[in-house]
Amino acid sequence: MARTSKLRHEGDRLTDLINVGVLTKQFPLGEIKRVLEETGRSSKRQRDLPAHVMMYYVITMALYRQEGMREVLRVLLEGLGIVLGLGIRLQAAGKSGISQARSRLGEEPLKRLYEQAVNPIATPKTQGAFYRDWQTVAMDGSTLEAPDTPANEEAFGRPPSPSGGQSAYPLIRVVGLVEVGTHVLFGAVLGSYATGEVTLAREVVRHLRPGMLCLADRYFPGYPLWKQATETGAELVWRVRQVIHFPVVERFPDGSFLSWFRPPRAKKGEPRGEPIPVRVIDYQVEGPKRKEETIRIITSILDWQAAPAEELAEVYHERWEFETALDELKTHMRGARTVLRSQTPELVRQECYGLLLAHFAIRGLMHEAALSAGRDPDRISFVHTLRVVRRTLPRFAAISPSGLGGAARDGGSPNPRGGRRATKVASGKARREAQAEQVRSKTANGQEPESPLRPRCSA
């Protein structure tokens, strides 16, 4: 989809400053400069567009997808000058100047900032983030369309078209983890379209930690990846294809059974791996035309009493929270049927990390508001979060970026773990507007999501 440049009205000025304030809160200037020093990309001489400004610029592009590059820069420079007190000249730069500054920056600083700053943020107070004592995360992958340039096609490739030939745009593949309770997308790895999801997943599972419960679809399970993931100390609940044979070793009262995940046959002269014990759960769901489909999942939790089969069947359904996070990223932030802006592979990857960082900034704000109000983050609409910010915070011109969470709080509401909140309440009108937007997340077509899950574990 083509883009058209547009200018923002003077009335949008405070909103722009607030959005810039959200970024500077999640990614402080000191952290930005430290990353630039670590990657050797800090500006050696004074420039109109120094490296730390361009770091914020790349992230800001994701918040203002419909504006032109120069307009995004104007918003950013004005915002940084007021929010951070930086002495930056408000001088318009052309597209070529912006592109040159982005090229000098490269992708590595954005990648390093993403790896260091974007991590799970749920606390014991976060509703919907845990199954029993495990923090639930989901692993999956997707693709993003890059501009149709020879360099992008060579770097990323493109899939074949169903009608023959090739698709319209090169695709960059993304595989990562989503924290189910907050939709924070962390541990993401980028690759070409020809690079399979399982290959990228080998780098993603390194971000699993003890105390996590990882959910994944049926195309991920394989002995090498399962072994690597379990060695992180995390517990796994992955769907498997019915063609994989799991012999029954012992049946449990909840209908699950103990089995072995056996390694593939080793090549001549190579040692064969040891079988890994797993617990197998079969259950049925109601599919299209009310036909029942058998789902098989395997888990590394061998104690059936610690995680009964029926509960794990329901928990596995939370894997779809990854799809919801993707919808936020690809539809509402990037724009439906909209390709990325960047014309070269390095800047495409840079832009992808900017998208992920901007998504984290918004999700961090939503999580803070949910904790303050004692609500489930899923009950706060991603689409409307920035609208809430725009409708409530402009009434409080003295609010600093570090106090953004207060405008969405139910001031004086009980703390779910006891005590009262010390933050002063916003005006009644602003608070009612914020509460009105805290609705259940909807699917892309605007309908409430319905679970087709009907767990009936086999005996």
pLDDT at 70 over 90: no
143 or 86, greater pLDDT: 143
Task: Provide the pLDDT for residue 250.
Answer: 97
Q: How far is CA 58 from CA 18, 175, 336, 349, in A?
A: 17, 21, 20, 11
Phi first, then psi, for residue 37 (nearest 5°) are: -65, -40
Q: Which range, 190-199, 239-248, 389-398, has the best average confidence (pLDDT)?
A: 190-199
Q: What is the pLDDT confidence band of residue 177, given thresholds at 50, 70 and 90?
A: very high
Task: Provide the pLDDT for residue 45.
Answer: 67
Cα(5)–Cα(404) distance, integer angstroms: 29
pLDDT at 40 over 70: yes
Q: How far is CA 218 from CA 14, 93, 143, 197, in A?
A: 47, 49, 18, 12
Task: Provide the pLDDT for residue 118.
Answer: 96
Q: How far is CA 99 from CA 172, 274, 348, in A?
A: 20, 52, 12
CA–centroid distance for 283 within its chain: 29
The arithmetic mean of pLDDT across residues 31-53, rounded, is: 86
DSSP 408: G
Task: Provide the pLDDT for residue 140.
Answer: 96
To the nearest whole percent, how much of the chain has pLDDT over 90? 47
Q: What is the pLDDT confidence band of residue 4, given thresholds at 50, 70 and 90?
A: very low
pLDDT at 308 over 70: yes
Sole residue written with tokens 């509703």: 127
Is 317 in contact with 311 (CB distance < 8 Å)?
no
Residue 459, token pair as written in the block: 């005996």
Residue 250, strand partner residues: 258
pLDDT at 181 over 90: yes
To the nearest whole percent, how much of the chain has pLDDT over 70? 74
pLDDT at 400 over 60: no
Task: Provide the pLDDT for residue 438.
Answer: 39
- Per-residue pLDDT of 260-303, as tens digits, reads 999 887 776 676 789 999 999 999 988 777 788 889 999 999 99
pLDDT at 330 over 50: yes
The arithmetic mean of pLDDT across residues 443-448, rounded, is: 44
Q: What is the pLDDT confidence band of residue 411, given thresholds at 50, 70 and 90?
A: very low
Residues 6+ apart with CB under 8 A from 172: 143, 144, 146, 156, 190, 191, 192, 193, 348, 349, 352
Cα(158)–Cα(164) distance, integer angstroms: 13
Task: Provide the pLDDT for residue 167.
Answer: 82
The arithmetic mean of pLDDT across residues 345-350, rounded, is: 97
- Per-residue pLDDT of 250-259, as tens digits, reads 999 999 999 9
Q: What three-state secondary structure class fits 91?
A: coil
Task: Provide the pLDDT for residue 20.
Answer: 60
Task: Provide the pLDDT for residue 87.
Answer: 53
Is 96 in contact with 103 (CB distance < 8 Å)?
no
The arithmetic mean of pLDDT across residues 61-77, rounded, is: 78
Cα(137)–Cα(58) distance, integer angstroms: 27
Q: What is the pLDDT confidence band of residue 406, given thresholds at 50, 70 and 90?
A: very low
Cα Dmax for the chain: 74
pTM for the model stands at: 0.79
Task: Provide the pLDDT for residue 249.
Answer: 97
Task: Provide the pLDDT for residue 290.
Answer: 73
Task: Provide the pLDDT for residue 79.
Answer: 66
Phi first, then psi, for residue 298 (nearest 5°) are: -120, 150
Q: Is 189 exposed, middle or buried (0-12, 13-18, 19+ CB in 10 A)?
A: buried
For helices 51-63 and 108-117, the axis angle rounded to 10 degrees is 70
The arithmetic mean of pLDDT across residues 11-31, rounded, is: 65
Q: What is the pLDDT confidence band of residue 219, given thresholds at 50, 70 and 90?
A: confident
pLDDT at 103 over 60: yes
Least confident residue range of 51-55, 322-326, 364-368, 447-451? 447-451
Task: Provide the pLDDT for residue 402.
Answer: 38
The arithmetic mean of pLDDT across residues 197-220, rounded, is: 96
Task: Provide the pLDDT for residue 430.
Answer: 35
The arithmetic mean of pLDDT across residues 2-21, rounded, is: 46
11 or 284, greater pLDDT: 284
